Copies of this chain bind each other. A is one copy, B any other.
Amino acid sequence: MQRLNAEVICIGTELLLGEILNSNAQYLAQQLASLGIPHFYQTVVGDNPERIQKALAIATGRANLIITTGGLGPTPDDLTTETIADFFDAPLVERSEIWERICEMYAQVGRQITANNRKQALLPQGAEVLPNPIGSAPGMIWQPHRDLTILTFPGVPSELYPMWQQTAIPFLQSQGWVKETFHSKVLLYWGIPESALAERVHHLFESKNPTVAPYANYGQARLRITARATTQAEAEALIAPVEAEIRQLTGADCYGVDEDTLASVVGKYLQKHNQTLAVAESCTGGGLGQMLTDVSGSSAYFLGGVISYSNDVKANLLNVSRADLAKYGAVSAIVAEQMALGVQSQIQSDWGISITGIAGPNGGSDEKPVGLVYIGIAAPDRSVVAIEHRFSPSRGRNWLRNVSACSALDHLRRRFVMIGKVTA
């Protein structure tokens, strides 16, 4: 067949109304790029059969791999499968294996099956099921004629991703359509702005293979190293020396790679030192504990904590001095220190971390503005420190709560890095 050339059609009126961000388009674009499959157009169209068919007519005229997202659900405005079948004048056939799985899934969670679900079991004659390990709506792999392949996916990203990884990629490889692979490694940073990071490594931005590119995500700087090669091993061999040079240049500011999180890295240090952690949270209200427990297996080192949102809880459960609360206020270095020591002794953990601050939008003053945050760290030797942060309030409450929790984890991480240097 002619050279492979993919096109993405995202189907959903909610996209045209701007109700959701089209993250699927970015994911599929990244995936196609990493597989070296050219991809020249993306189209977004609503849940309208006539317009979906017009989009199909255009796409099939310029691409031979059509990937659709959305419109596979059980509701009346989910029309993708029947519209595609109609476009190619193919009859719809019910697939018993799909219907049985839908019934199974609904039974599992005790949900009532409705007439609407039945149409999710229909696929065009000759199409293969593209299994959905998460949800009830499967996609399809269909070659309506020799020079055209259509892959359909639901619009829910958490369903699309595993379907792409588990079935679509192996299918594309089995067709011999994936030759070169692009392999990337992302170095993760906390506590250094993207511009300062770029300054340190800018000489690498000219490199062609691997390429090095900086980018920032939620105020977190990253460096992506991307190598092009015929095998992953070859790509990794190209990346290794560049990664080593970057790590040399950026030192402790780099906390991890790829899927690492500040919480998972802190967890590794705690396990390595066979130590435990407890948290005392005021303005983050549980967000730090949630970050730590996002890591499966965190119960090995995370014991728990106290959400001391009110001053009574700070005093009663964490033994914070009521006199100090009155004199210095709940958002102060001394209260952060007492919270960290308090949760450490209450929960009998090796480390205690505390966060107290003003997340806003209200509650700020000239002396204590929104964005003022104190992080307390009580160490195994019962020594305690408090670090003051004055974050910009401009990004709002949720951002402030998130950077406060991340900064607390980063301070603990850097303590372990220092310990490593001392003992090394």
- Residues of chain A touching chain B, judged by Cβ–Cβ distance below 8 Å, are 13-23, 25-33, 39-46, 48, 51, 54-55, 58, 62, 73-77, 105, 108-112, 114-117, 133-134, 156, 158, 184, 193-196, 198-199, 202, 205, 213-217, 224, 279, 281, 283-290, 292-294, 296-299, 302-310, 312-313, 316-317, 346-348, 359-362, 390-392, 394-399, 401
| A284 CB contacts on chain B under 8 angstroms | 290, 293
The residues of B that contact A394 with a CB separation of less than 8 Å are 133-134
In the assembled complex, the Cα of A58 lies from the Cα of B54 at a distance in Å of 11
In the complex with contacts A22-B26, A42-B15, A307-B309 CB distance below 8 A: no
Q: Judging by beta carbons under 8 Å apart, are A307 and B310 in contact?
A: no
CB neighbours of A133 from chain B (8 A): 394
Pick the 4 closest A-B CB pairs, nearest first. A286-B289, A285-B293, A286-B286, A18-B30
Given known contacts A76-B202, A308-B304, A399-B158, A29 and B17 CB-to-CB distance under 8 angstroms: yes
List the B residue with the shortest CB-CB distance to A28.
B18
Q: Is B346 a contact of A317 with CB atoms below 8 Å?
A: yes
- Looking across the interface, which residue of chain B has its beta carbon closest to that of A299? B309
Which of B31, B74, B398 is within 8 Å of A294, CB to CB?
Answer: B398
**Between-chain CB contacts (< 8 Å), 30 pairs:** A13-B213, A14-B215, A15-B25, A15-B29, A17-B33, A18-B26, A18-B31, A20-B217, A21-B23, A40-B46, A41-B55, A43-B44, A74-B198, A75-B214, A77-B213, A105-B392, A109-B391, A114-B198, A116-B199, A117-B195, A133-B394, A158-B396, A283-B293, A286-B288, A286-B292, A294-B401, A299-B309, A303-B309, A304-B309, A305-B309
Separation of A283 and B298 alpha carbons in the complex (Å):
11
Name the B residues within 8 Å of A217 (CB-CB).
Answer: 20
Determine if A74 and B195 form an interchain contact, defined as CB atoms under 8 angstroms apart: yes
Cα of A263 to Cα of B184 in the assembled complex, Å: 39
Residues of B within 8 A of A62 (CB): 54
A310 contact set on B, CB distance < 8 A: 299, 303-304
Q: A303-B312, A313-B347, A392-B108 are in contact. Are A75 and B195 (CB under 8 A)?
A: yes
Roughly how many angstroms separate A45 CA and B63 CA in the complex, as a whole number?
Answer: 13
Question: Considering the chains assembled together, what is the distance between the CA atoms of A214 and B76 in angstroms?
Answer: 9
Residues of the B chain whose Cβ atoms lie less than 8 Å from the Cβ of A398: 294
Contacting pair A114 B195 (CB below 8 A): yes
Contact A290 B293 (CB under 8 A): no
Q: Contacts A296-B360, A304-B310 given; 16 further ones with Cβ under 8 A?
A: A13-B213, A15-B25, A18-B25, A22-B22, A41-B45, A73-B194, A75-B194, A75-B198, A111-B193, A279-B307, A281-B286, A285-B286, A286-B307, A289-B289, A289-B309, A304-B313
Set of chain B residues within 8 Å of A316, measured between Cβ atoms: 346-347
Contact B194 A74 (CB under 8 A): yes
Cβ B16 vs Cβ A40 within 8 A: yes
- Compute how far the CA of A30 lies from the CA of B17 in the bound complex, rounded to whole angstroms: 5
In the complex, which residue of chain B has the Cβ closest to the Cβ of A318? B304
Task: Say yes or no: A362 contacts B297, CB within 8 Å.
Answer: yes
- Complex formed: what's the CA distance from A304 to B74 in Å? 41
Give Cα distance in the complex from A317 to B290, angstroms. Answer: 19
**Closest residue to A33 on the B side, CB-wise?**
B17
Cα–Cα, bound, A391→B395 (Å): 35
Complexed CA–CA distance, A272 and B193 (Å): 44
CA distance A309 to B302 in the complex (A): 7
Q: Across the two chains, which residue of chain B brings its CB closest to A27?
A: B18
Q: Are B317 and A109 in contact (CB under 8 A)?
A: no
List the B side residues contacting A77 at CB < 8 Å: 205, 213-214
